[in-house]
Amino acid sequence: MAIEVTVPEMGESILEATVSHWLKKEGEYINVGDVLVELETDKVNVEVGAKGSGVLQQIKVKEGGDVKVGDVLGTIDEKVEQTQPATPEPKPHAAEEAKESVLVEKQEEKTPEPVREQKPELVPRPRQDGRNKKQREAPLVTPVASRLARDKDVDISAIQGTGAEGRVTRSDVEKYLQNQDKLDRTVEQPQALADVQHEVSAAPPMGNRQEERIRMSRRRRTIAERLLEAKNSTAMLTTFNEVDMTNVMTLRKRTNDQFVERHGIKLGIVSFFVKASIGALKEFPYLNAEIQSDEIVLKHYYDIGMAIGAEEGLVVPVIRDADKLSFAEIEKYIKELVSKSQSGKLSIEDLRGGTFTITNGGVFGSLLSTPILNPPQVGILGLHKIEERPVALNGQVVIRPMMYTALSYDHRIVDGREAVQFLVRLKEFIEDPALLLLEG
């Protein structure tokens, strides 16, 4: 009996996926629950397990192929029995049974060794993590890195991983390829190109003009589509302000040791902006809304999205009910989301929804930027690098740690006055953190 391996339901609004990596090969024995294949969606990676035991008979969709929910990925030839009993059970046709018995005895007399060797191979061996011994000994590798290594014919075991738990990432593969290029700069050229170059040999050399083509991952394609959608379907505008971070940094420095001792985590910068954003959103609720047809939906809950630059592309996991969380709870929430994004373990629930987004380009050294909206949200706050700059204070020039903030908003329902006042209120909260306690 053949068991079909199909694309499962992968969550709300996710209808398509790309076959990222087959963990089993055709002809390999499969146990119930073994992970067969990994699918890449525009949000998370999904593992597809076996619903029955048997031999993987056919792989119908190769790696890199696009599939939809319900499509057949492959088939498993189900085996009822893997071992035969020592004494055959009585059969209704004694003559046929005797004939089969004689054939078996003759085979055992001629080739006893292969029969004894083949029998254990049919017995499914228990596995703890759904991978065979060779796969367990292989290094951990992300789907993108694995695909790039296959495209470039690179032995992944020769690469030292720098990701979580020693996982080999795309940057590790690219760095390995760059090192190999340094060892061998010779590029083979077709004879036709060689003839053309001979004709124009008088022209000055152009240097190394090597090119390569890399297939965009499904997640990267989806990000591109949504960024274009945000630009084309919203009246997006950005306003800026600058914030003096002196009091926040002084407060963190003074209380950080006690904070770590009490909560087991450091007090970061972003939790202050989460709290300050919620305080400002309560005063300017149209920034915590969305447009549905000809209606404005005001949301009186605060699910704050945190933009994270993961290896396979930007993801925006959500801090649920952030207004009800303490500073320590927000810090732990952010740390967990970052860890899950780095290890590729974000779930659909982690990414669903969100009423307002914060993106921190400052961790990469960005001094100023214009963040793009995350539809259907109508507001996104951009944080940037903290840099000491001379500023005028009480008639004197002093050096202060300053940060530029940027608010992109949908001008269809948010006026410029509200956007500017939102940033001014945010600035007040950050420059006087005691206000955050008073506002709750």
Q: What pLDDT, in 10s, does the model give residues 301-339?
A: 999 999 988 776 788 999 999 999 999 999 999 999 999
Q: Which of 71, 77, 151, 415 is catalytic?
A: 415
Cis bond leading into 376, ω under 30°?
A: yes
Q: Which CATH number fits domain 2-79+124-135: 1.20.1630.10, 2.40.50.100, 2.60.40.420, 2.40.30.10?
A: 2.40.50.100
- What stretches of 264-360 show up as alpha helix (H) in DSSP? 270-283, 327-342, 348-351
Please list the pLDDT of the chain residue by residue as tens digits (440 residues): 678 888 887 766 677 888 888 888 888 888 888 888 888 776 677 888 888 888 887 888 888 888 888 888 888 887 644 444 444 454 445 445 544 444 444 444 444 444 444 444 444 444 444 455 555 555 677 777 777 788 778 887 888 877 766 778 877 888 888 777 666 554 444 554 555 455 545 556 667 788 888 888 777 787 788 888 888 889 999 999 999 999 999 999 999 999 999 999 999 999 999 999 999 999 999 999 999 989 999 999 999 999 988 776 788 999 999 999 999 999 999 999 999 888 878 888 888 889 999 999 999 999 999 999 999 999 999 999 999 999 999 999 999 999 999 999 999 999 999 999 999 999 999 999 988 877 65
Helix, strand, or coil here: 288? coil
**Domains of the chain, residue spans:** 2-79+124-135, 138-198, 236-439
Provide the pairing of β-strand 356-360 with 16-22: unpaired
Which residues, in sequence order, are CB contacts of 108 under 8 Å at separation 6+?
A: 115
| 172 is an active site residue | no
Residue type for position 409: Y
Q: Phi/psi class of residue 353: alpha, beta or left (left: φ > 0; alpha: ψ in -120 to 50)?
A: left
Place of tokens 């991983």: 161
Read off the DSSP letter of residue 52: S
C-alpha dihedral sign at 223, 228, 233, 238:
positive
Q: What class is the 138-198 domain?
A: few secondary structures
Backbone angles phi, psi at 301, to 5 degrees: -135, 165
Structure pTM? 0.62
**To 5 degrees, how large is the angle CA 278–CA 275–CA 258?**
165
Q: Which of 172, 300, 411, 432 is catalytic?
A: 411
Question: How is domain 236-439 classified at the architecture level of CATH?
Answer: 2-Layer Sandwich (3.30)
Helix, strand, or coil here: 141? strand
Helix (H) or strand (E) holding 117: helix 112-122
How far is the C-alpha of 350 from the C-alpha of 315, rounded, in Å? 10
| 411 is an active site residue | yes
